[in-house]
Chains A and B, each alone.
Chain A
Amino acid sequence: MKRKFVPWMFLLLPLILYTIWVIAPTIYTFYLSFTEWDGLTSPQFIGLENYKYLFDDPTFYKSLINNLKWLIIFLAFPVVVGLFLAMLLSQDIKWARGFKASIYSPMILAPVVIGLIWSWIYQPQGGLLNNTLTYIGLKSLTRGWLSNPETALYAVIGAAVWRHTGYVMLLFLAGLTSISPTVIEASKIDGASAWQRFRFIILPLLKPTTVIVIVITMIQSLRAFDFVSMMTRGGPFNSTNVLAFYMYSEAFRNYNMGYGAAIAVILFLIMFVFIALYLRQIRKGELE
């Protein structure tokens, strides 16, 4: 009898804190999405009005599409490049630690710092990018990367990709080290080429890691806030607006708390799909 209680008591404090500070606010936000509230007076219950407005809101769709673009690019570049670099570094390489440390290093910088650096790189007059393009004779390609609605989003995503790749690389490296070398050796003896080894042995064995990487990458891309906030504040003309930032600006700049909450709920529901996938993968991994 006593044994059943004791673990719960151990966890009681963090559990209580967690319920108050994480679970309850989530539920409260759901409630708020059905109200209209300016943060000062009391919330007015308005049912599904916020959601009705949402479905007709062009800015919402713009932000959603931007999130989608972010997601796709995040899946394409950091994942592919990260895997490639991990494959290289899992072999016998001199200075491997140095390479790993350098490639991972962007992750230790605050996103706001990275946003600042890249804003500077993207400066139309005198920024590193335009300067380099001019220097190698491609002056025609120079432009205001962050001020041009066509390129702004990709410029911001670029900075985020630059940061995220090292992290993906490390995750894949961890997954690769768990693949037993005897399997690889056996396949070499059997005469498999490098590509065949990769495609038919390594890739399938990497599946659990790949799932984790994809889920984390997707969740990270949906959370993107710091970069947008630092580099463009959602502009120009909402071309870099994403759900996480739109929600923030509606709630804390325009004082439309109820509407901001509705956006938050949508964002949360989208994330929930990936969170569920992640949990499922962890459970599967544990059962093995």
Chain B
Amino acid sequence: MNNNQQNSKTKYLILILSAVFFLIPMYVLLVTSFKDFDQVSLTTMWNLPTTFSLAGFTTALKKLAPNLMNSFYLVIPATLLSAIMGSLNGYVLSHWKFKGADTLFALMLFGMFIPYQSILFPLVQFLQSIGLYGSIPGLILVHVIYGLPITTLMFRNYYTEVPTALTEAARVDGAGIFSIYRYIFLPISIPSFVVVFIWQFTNIWNEFLFAVTLTSRPANQPITVALTNLAGSQVVHWNIQMSGAIITALPTLIVYVIFGKYFIKGLLSGSVKG
């Protein structure tokens, strides 16, 4: 029994240390952003701020506010659209056998792993030719399309759990492809929509490469790009930068805190095999 207790204690110790290790940077982030500039110095790294100061925040917020809004304008439509399309695609690919279905699916998965750098210039050109280069709508379009593979995958994995007998019976009853979706699949899709929303929200919000190459003027840029610009300035005001980082991270953090339970449950049940 003693051995087991020892074992147990070690396990918890390892887990606690690991959790702390993964959370330390966040602690540092929080603590630094609430400091005044003169407090952010060599020796007081660990310390909690002596005076609670919002100076870093207010400056960061002033600089980043338009970009924060840009990110919202980008992420919400893009998430909604890619989720809906992914649901439809996943539905068709999981329950309708037709010639080329598998090749199609393979093709889609392939798109998930293309290094974005590889298609960057053609993308820039296409966007320019339809007049959407450098704007948020252009970014939305890009993210919807490049989100298709992963959302399709997630929904497809989820829908394969639905027995084909169900769709067969509905077909026999005369239901068409869309009504089967509408009346059978859509109602049960809430958990997978939650997972897909959170995944897409987080990934599109955090995305950097498309954001930095496909938008030109600072006024149009999402917050991830604005943060790098903030960090690149000459005098390094760490409390401002850290505040900026928190503002950038806050929406995804909030989403994670509120919906995290469903999200992790969904991930673990195999919605994401990748």
Q: Which residues of A contact B (CB under 8 A)?
A: 3-4, 6-8, 10-11, 13-15, 17-18, 20-26, 28-29, 32, 39, 85, 88-89, 91, 93-94, 97-114, 116-121, 125-128, 131, 162, 165-166, 170, 173-174, 177-178, 212, 215-216, 219, 222-223, 225-226, 229-230, 244, 247-248, 251-252, 257, 260-261, 264-265, 267-268, 271, 274-275, 278-279, 282-283, 285
Contacts and interface: CB of A to CB of B under 8 A. Distances in A.
B78 interface: no
B155 interface: no
B11 A93 contact: yes
Contacts of A212: 273-274
B208 A110 contact: yes
A113 B40 CA distance: 18
A89 B15 contact: yes
B18 A110 contact: no
Contact of A29 (B118, B205, B238): B118
12 contacts: A18-B148, A25-B119, A29-B122, A88-B15, A102-B18, A102-B22, A106-B25, A110-B249, A117-B245, A131-B45, A251-B120, A285-B273
B69 interface: no
Contacts of B252: 108-110
Interface residues of B, number: 88
Interface of B is mostly: helix
Interface in B195-229: 202, 205-209, 212-213, 224, 227-228
Given A110-B206, A177-B268, A279-B106, A18 B111 contact: yes
Contact of B42 (A20, A117, A125, A223): A125
B36 to A, nearest CB: 15
B28 interface: yes
B260 A267 contact: no
Nearest to A81: B18
B166 interface: no
